[in-house]
Amino acid sequence: MFSSLISLLMPGKSKAATAVLAPDILVDVRDVGPGTDSYAPVQACIDFCNWCRQDAGLGLEEVAPDAWRCYFVDYYRAQVSNGGHAQFAGNSGLRPRVLDFIAEGLKAMEASEFLEIFEEFRHAMDRDPALRRRTVESGGFGDIPDVIEALDRRFFALNSIWLLVEHTSAWVTTRPTWTPLPPSELAARKTAILAGSRSGRRR
């Protein structure tokens, strides 16, 4: 579902020289049409982000920011749902840009209860280097700090697996960049992105 965070966050072109080559979230209309479940739009966005990074070789700044907000909010949900905030910390490395995308996404989605938990987690990591180190090193196993376990309990009490999916799905599908397309048009748009990416690399 998610490609490597390390590959997603590899340094790319400088921001000053970077154009947004994928300004829309391009998805196959068949994947998000009637009869699909509430996770389908989120998965379609994740697939698009993975395609941008892996196939098109785009950096974060070359893709519609809302695509990454959707991607990383669901990454946060999946990691915490599987192994708590300590697993999220260990696997994400608490990279600032990832944390920013999550905070921006949760705020834009008006997922206030989740945003409150996430901001408390982030502040705890920022203000206590020893707690941060212990949390990251645990990776969700063994000795989990009490403050992290308390945040996990609050997260799970929100019926987090599906409620946050619903927040994310409802939000991403109303973005002006959300663009479901028939297969032929989708292929043509992706071909244009690939051409732009190759041209940029040649320059």
Element holding 72 (H helix, E strand): helix 65-92
Q: What is the pLDDT of residues 157-187, one digit of tens each?
A: 998 678 999 999 999 999 999 999 999 999 9
Grouping H, G, I as helix, E, B as strand and the rest as coil, residue 147 is: helix
Query: Which range has the worst mean pLDDT, 11-15, 21-25, 84-88, 126-130?
Result: 11-15
Residue 140 contacts residue 87 (beta carbons within 8 Å) = yes
pLDDT at 201: 62
- Closest to 22 measured CA to CA, from 58, 71, 55, 50: 58
Q: What is the DSSP letter of 25?
A: E
Is the pLDDT at 14 greater than 50? The verdict is: no
The phi-psi region of residue 151 (left if phi > 0; otherwise alpha if psi is between -120 and 50; otherwise beta) is alpha
Q: What is the pLDDT of residues 23-37, one digit of tens each?
A: 999 999 999 988 899
The residue with greater pLDDT, 115 or 16, is 115
Across residues 65-76, what is the average pLDDT? Answer: 98
**In the chain, % of residues over pLDDT 70:** 89
Q: What is the pLDDT of residues 140-151, one digit of tens each?
A: 787 889 999 999
